[in-house]
């Protein structure tokens, strides 16, 4: 910077420099950058910049310019402060000032130093004030958060939620928020919203909250008002306004069927869409007055099945990742494969996500190799997966899909042996289809009824719905129906064995389970009528027959078979 000749101009330049710092908003971190710059700038507004170097001592830290060395000829001005040891500003003359200029130079430079030191004193006072304000704000926020925690604890203590529910959903909501890129103050708002998510239920009578059975329509209308109560209460507190989205909107559903506003899709605030998944998850795995807790596998099935209807599918994807990476899922440290109900693959307790598969074809190819343990050539894969593709295109498609498959689950999962690709059977893995078919086979070979029942129950336990329900490739459809028929037969056989052992509740349970799966299953209807007859319930026999008749007429346009009608008449007359 060129020398400024007059003192007035030099002071003006110092003021312009200082004003450009925006020093009113400075903090200690900013000072660590601003004061070194000031040390470098200061000589430029002195009387003899070419021979002047500066040093500033501020809050115990020394700042100097690059060419600085301590000189016998210097000016020193203390920074004014209530703290006598705050610091000082120094000018060191690296060469002798001419005698005829010495008095003027020292006088004018002292004026510059006094202005700067006064400014630094103001800055120190401002920093101390800001620190006090921030400390007060932090203490106030801490007190506020403790109050919020007390509200939530009081709510739990009154048995209006499952024990520990609030603490669990807060922790899981924060984990999901971090996974989805939230940080800093946003996490604080999410925490407060999660703590207060159901605070409006204080307005709901205990006889409704704690009711063991299904709520009536009027009772549910009372429950649905609790987000409005929360919004009315919390919106009056300025600090809690950024946290309101969770208490107000977390009962909204992706398809618009939620409450209180019936919002659809991305019209629902993201934090509320996130928290709704967390809240339902914890509710499913917790005991409630009206039902026992589900297993985590069962709860995960429901969460995934409702992605795209109740829940934002993208949020569910992130939520599954959080569950997989945390200690939330009961998955052993090996590969676990599920094809019934939902196709899912865990590798070392980590659920492989849709984004990791990249394309649906990679997942389908993985299950194709599982379905053909003897292996398939590339051409055979093409016939199953892409029957209309050309030979050249098949080579590219197969290579790319296999690459994605191996990247998702590991290079050693699919092996190449004599031109055939196959699933590696030496891996430590569990596959529900394999467990299912093995149990069915052992049941058919069992010589003792208890052994048969044991294996039938194991097979039924594995079957959580149709085989690969989301896949529409041609090779899946026959297998899907085959496994479904095996499942139906297992249910019927198990019901029949319990009936023969005169364990009628279990017999009826499995019989009805078969009829839920296939309401036109006449053999199951006939067995159910015999069970009702054994229980001495004539009205249930009539109801069962009428249900069978209605189903047959509505779907096939015919009455039940002669065998069913004869059994009905016989049971009614006896």
Residue pLDDT, tens place only, 417-472: 889 999 998 888 889 999 999 999 999 999 999 999 999 999 999 998 999 998 88
Q: Is 419 left (phi over 0), alpha (psi -120 to 50) or beta?
A: left
Flag whether pLDDT at 570 surpasses 60.
Answer: yes
Averaged pLDDT, 510-519: 93
DSSP reduced 3-state for 376: strand
The radius of gyration of the chain's CA atoms, rounded to the nearest angstrom, is 38
pLDDT tens column, 164-176: 788 888 889 999 9
Q: What is the mean pLDDT of the chain?
A: 86
**Residue 22 or residue 165, greater confidence:** 165
- Please give the Cα distance from 516 to 502 (Å, whole number): 22
- The count of other CB atoms within 10 Å of the CB of residue 184 is 7
Question: What is the SS3 string spanning 162-190?
Answer: CCCHHHHHHHHHHHHHHHCCCCHHHHHHH
Flag whether pLDDT at 155 surpasses 70.
Answer: no
Q: Which residue is associated with the tokens 């509505």?
A: 554
**Residue 123 or residue 313, greater confidence:** 313
Flag whether pLDDT at 159 surpasses 90.
Answer: no
Q: Which domains does the chain have, with CATH numbers?
A: 7-133 (3.30.450), 158-327 (1.10.3210.10), 351-427 (1.10.10.10), 457-573 (1.25.40.10)
Flag whether pLDDT at 484 surpasses 50.
Answer: yes
Q: Which helix (H) or strand (E) holds 415?
A: strand 414-417
pLDDT tens column, 224-250: 888 888 888 878 877 778 889 998 999
Averaged pLDDT, 160-185: 83
Position 118 scores a pLDDT of: 87
Picking from 25-29, 39-43, 169-173, which range would have the lowest pLDDT averaged per residue?
Answer: 25-29
pLDDT tens column, 389-421: 898 899 999 999 999 999 999 989 999 988 999
- The count of other CB atoms within 10 Å of the CB of residue 359 is 14
Position 178 scores a pLDDT of: 93
Q: Which residue is associated with the tokens 């110092």?
A: 14
Position 23 scores a pLDDT of: 58
**Residue 188 or residue 131, greater confidence:** 188
What percent helix, strand, coil does the chain show, rounded to 5?
Answer: 60, 10, 30
Structure tokens at 387: 């029957």
Position 205 scores a pLDDT of: 79
Sign, Cα dihedral of 547, 548, 549, 552: positive
Averaged pLDDT, 461-489: 92
Position 163 scores a pLDDT of: 60
- Please give the Cα distance from 375 to 414 (Å, whole number): 10
Position 375 scores a pLDDT of: 93
Flag whether pLDDT at 563 surpasses 50.
Answer: yes
DSSP class per residue in 36-92: HHHHHHGGGGSS-GGGEEEEEEETTEEEE-TT----SSEEEEEPP-SSTTSEEEEEE
- The count of other CB atoms within 10 Å of the CB of residue 457 is 16
DSSP reduced 3-state for 335: strand
């Amino acid at each position: 910077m060129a020398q400024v000749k007059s003192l007035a101009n030099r002071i003006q330049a110092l003021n312009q420099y200082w004003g450009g710092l925006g020093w009113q908003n400075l903090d200690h971190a900013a000072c660590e950058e601003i004061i070194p710059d000031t040390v470098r700038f200061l000589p430029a507004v002195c009387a003899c910049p070419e021979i002047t170097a500066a040093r500033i001592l501020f809050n115990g830290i020394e700042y100097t310019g690059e060419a600085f060395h301590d000189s016998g000829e210097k000016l020193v001005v203390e920074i004014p402060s209530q703290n006598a040891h705050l610091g000082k500003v120094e000018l060191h003359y690296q060469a002798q000032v001419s005698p005829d200029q010495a008095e003027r130079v020292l006088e004018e430079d002292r004026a510059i130093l006094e202005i700067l030191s006064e400014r630094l004193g103001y800055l120190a006072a401002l920093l101390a004030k800001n620190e006090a304000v921030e400390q007060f704000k932090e203490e106030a926020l801490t007190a506020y958060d403790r109050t919020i925690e007390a509200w939530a604890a009081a709510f739990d203590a009154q048995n209006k939620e499952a024990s520990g529910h609030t603490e669990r959903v807060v922790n899981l909501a924060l984990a999901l928020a971090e996974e989805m890129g939230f940080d800093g103050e946003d996490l604080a708002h999410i925490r407060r919203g999660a703590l207060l998510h159901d605070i409006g239920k204080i307005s709901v009578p205990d006889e409704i909250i704690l009711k063991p059975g299904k709520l009536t329509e009027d009772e549910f209308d009372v429950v649905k008002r609790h987000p409005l109560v929360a919004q009315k209460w919390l919106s009056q507190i300025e600090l809690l306004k950024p946290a309101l989205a969770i208490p107000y909107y977390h009962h909204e559903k992706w398809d618009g069927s939620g409450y209180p506003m019936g919002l659809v899709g991305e019209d629902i605030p993201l934090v509320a869409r996130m928290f709704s998944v967390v809240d339902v998850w914890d509710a499913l795995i917790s005991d409630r007055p009206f039902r026992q807790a589900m297993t985590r596998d069962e709860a995960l099935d429901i969460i995934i099945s409702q992605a795209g209807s109740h829940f934002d599918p993208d949020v569910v994807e992130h939520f599954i990742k959080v569950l997989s990476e945390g200690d939330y899922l009961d998955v052993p440290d090996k590969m676990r494969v599920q094809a019934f109900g939902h196709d899912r693959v865990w590798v070392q307790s980590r659920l492989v996500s849709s984004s990791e598969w990249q394309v649906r074809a990679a997942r389908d190819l993985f299950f194709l190799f599982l379905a053909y343990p003897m292996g398939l050539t590339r051409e055979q894969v093409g016939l199953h997966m892409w029957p209309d593709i050309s030979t050249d295109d098949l080579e590219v498609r197969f290579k790319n899909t296999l690459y994605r498959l191996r990247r998702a689950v590991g290079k050693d999962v699919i092996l190449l042996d004599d031109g055939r690709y196959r699933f590696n059977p030496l891996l430590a893995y569990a596959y529900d289809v394999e467990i299912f078919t093995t149990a069915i086979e052992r049941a058919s070979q069992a010589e003792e009824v208890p052994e048969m029942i044991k294996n039938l129950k194991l097979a039924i336990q594995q079957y959580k719905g149709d085989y690969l329900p989301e896949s529409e490739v041609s090779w899946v459809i026959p297998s899907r129906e085959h496994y479904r028929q095996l499942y139906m037969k297992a249910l019927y056989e198990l019901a029949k064995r319990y009936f023969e052992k005169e364990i009628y509740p279990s017999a009826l349970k499995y019989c009805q389970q078969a009829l839920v799966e296939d309401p036109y299953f006449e053999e199951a209807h006939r067995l159910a009528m015999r069970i009702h007859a054994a229980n001495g319930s004539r009205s249930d026999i009539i109801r069962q027959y009428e249900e069978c008749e209605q189903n047959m007429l509505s779907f096939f346009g015919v009455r039940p078979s002669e065998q069913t009608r004869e059994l009905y008449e016989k049971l009614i007359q006896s």
